[in-house]
Amino acid sequence: MLTRLFVGLLAAGALVLGNAIVVALGAESIFVAGPRIAQDPWAWVTIVDLYLGFLVFGGYVAVREGRAVRALPWLAAIFCLGNLASAAYVGWVLARHRFDPRALLRPAAQTGRLDVEIAS
């Protein structure tokens, strides 16, 4: 029950973020806003924080999946779509494991779904 609520919150958050992106794109092009944003030191703090978070969550995905074939598409999505992709990954893992939150702590290899191994 609690896990389904969590997935619902992830979906709602993804919808809110997606809507915010659409509104921002409609209000001003990133190419117009970019030079102005680049001069703001707090914008840089936000960007560094965001991409460090992507690296941490991307590392989690890579370790959990353990297979390049499975991890690389998620890593690309996380770096392009941000937390929308992170929320989708968590929801995807939970949905594949009957919403058992312990699945987030187990390597994907323990689920019996294996692809090509990442070279060590």
Give CB contacts under 8 A, 24+ apart, made by 61-64. 61/89, 62/118, 63/107, 64/93, 64/104, 64/106, 64/107, 64/108
Q: For residue range 60-88, what is the model confidence (pLDDT) as tens digits?
A: 999 999 888 989 999 999 998 888 889 88
Q: For residue range 25-35, what is the model confidence (pLDDT) as tens digits?
A: 999 988 999 99
pLDDT at 114 over 70: no
- CA 73, 74, 78, 84 dihedral sign is positive
Task: Enter the pTM of the model.
Answer: 0.71
